[in-house]
Structure 1
Amino acid sequence: MTEHTNKQFDADLESVRSQFLQMGGVVEAMIQEAIDALASGDLALVEKVREREKEVNRHEVEIDESISRILARHQPTAIDLRMLMAVSKMLTDMERSGDEAEKVATVARRIHESELRHIPVIELRHMAANVRTMLHQALDAFARLDPILAAAVVRSDKEVDKEWKGALRHLITYMIEDPRTISRAIDMIFIARALERIGDHAKNMSERVIYMVKGADVRHTGVKNTERLARGEEDTPASQDE
């Protein structure tokens, strides 16, 4: 962020920045606890995730109010206005990431409160670790104003998409081969889909970081063009160079 003679303005901007990072830390914890609940059946973790979701919602409201106050009281420069606009958009993605983590925890509860029979064996911990890393890196890119790291998160989303499609194929195969697995397989599809969406939200936030730092809108430009723009190079026609 830029330096200002108005110390209150600087303090207000830093408050928005630090509170957003705190909110992100809560969502990171929710993802880990939700996956741990799925693996262990520890229903206390499910309740912890639900409580954290309330905290995430409080952060969202407070940051929204802070941004509105800053815009009303000050006249942000272009770069500061980009930061505030970016955070306003990123808030939605972060809150929805928390919603997805809560969905994982809710389905984990349903699975473990059932008879635990006919559960298809599928490994989702690697996918969960990937999306949690993506979220962490998106937050790190925001904290350090690092467009290169943000572009790396955008590329990582491709791998998560592949994992989601692979999980879906495996689960459909389970249901075809053994109809007794249908109910639990659908639960696992919900979980895999929630993880994939968290990856999408991390990607969206990373694209906002690039916009914030470079002033370039990299949405729908392709991964390689995103990486070029993050490095400050010229965009190329979207030949879909993924």
Structure 2
Amino acid sequence: MSISRGPFTGRTLAGLARDLRTGRTTSTELVEQALDAIAELDPALNAFVTVDAEGARAAARRADQEPDDLRGPLHGVPVAVKDLIMVAGLPSTMGSRHFADYVPEVDAWCVARLRRAGAVIVGKTTTHEFAYGPTGDRSAAGPSRNPWDPARMSGGSSGGSAVAVAAGMVPLALGTDTGGSVRIPAALCGVAGFKPAYEAIPADGVFPLSRSLDHVGVLAGDEHDCLTAYRCLTTSESEGDGAADPAGAGPVRVGWLDPAGLFACDPRVV
């Protein structure tokens, strides 16, 4: 049995930015919609381990007082952050009881970028413990559950981020991907997930699983929103700010691994 969807289902970042710019809505209204959806839907889905209602409301008020075109397409938009990406003042448990009381004092690089883009962080999302698993069902906070059928797994390790977007609680969430941790839950929950090039989004302030393989990624309703978020996270406002050049240094190369060379796959998969 699927769960009813929240207010951001089918709404794009471009559409939200347009509504904010034209006065059809405010950041305060969007944040209240997100908080109401979390309160209604999350008891069944467990996408969030921490909800920062007070901080989100304060950030939304600030966003509403600024020119709505000042910071770009994420200005005033509620977003969620995986619980092994540091957000100053909020617990970062990494999905483990070992870090139950850990509260970082400094934002991760990608979180600072979100704030600079005007995004409003509403909370931290459930992660497979230490990001070490593809299922999303091994966390001190309990498993994140698939909104299409809560009896089934969300995938991991960025399961909470995928669930939050798929259920329409937020339009955008940050995740991390070392061996599939954005792509797997995105596929299982029916949203778009993007793992960018290595270090395109610096992983400073992200709990490491394998530093040489860890990537910060994004989860959203479709590929256009992933691209919008990626550009906000990587476009340089000044030289030497730490972001890799998203344009790359040469032609794009795409690798393809033939599944037939590994094992027999169900035709419905390939």
TM over 0.5: no
Greater helix proportion: 1
- For the pair shown, the structure with the greater C-alpha radius of gyration is 1
TM-score, structure 1 normalization: 0.28
TM-score, structure 2 normalization: 0.26
Greater strand proportion: 2
Say which structure, 1 or 2, has more relative contact order (CA 8 Å, 6+ apart): 1
